[in-house]
Amino acid sequence: MKDSNSATLPLVTIVLFLSLSWRATSDSSSQVDKFLQCLANSSALMLESIYTPSNSSFESALQAYIRNHRFLTPETPKSVAIVAPTHVSHVQATVVCAKDNGVQIRVRSGGHDYEGLSYRSNVTFVILDMFNLRSIDVDVDNEVAFVQAGATIGELYYKIANQSKDHAYPAGVCLSLGTGGHFNGGGYGNMMRKYGLSVDNILDAQVVGADGNILDQASMGKDLFWAIRGGGGASFAVIVS
User: Which residues make up the interface to ligand NAG (CB under 6 A)?
Assistant: 34, 37-38, 41, 47-48, 50-51, 55, 57, 122, 162
Instruction: Choose between 73 and 162: whose C-beta lies nearer to ligand NAG.
Output: 162
Smallest gap from Cβ 158 to ligand NAG, in A, equals 8
Strand partners of residue 95 = none
Instruction: Choose between 55 and 135: whose C-beta lies nearer to ligand NAG.
Output: 55
Instruction: Choose between 32 and 38: whose C-beta lies nearer to ligand NAG.
Output: 38
Smallest gap from Cβ 196 to ligand NAG, in A, equals 27
Distance CA 67, CA 64 (A): 8
Quick check: 160 and 186 in contact, CB under 8 A?
Answer: no
Instruction: Choose between 169 and 225: whose C-beta lies nearer to ligand NAG.
Output: 169
Smallest gap from Cβ 232 to ligand NAG, in A, equals 14
Smallest gap from Cβ 239 to ligand NAG, in A, equals 22
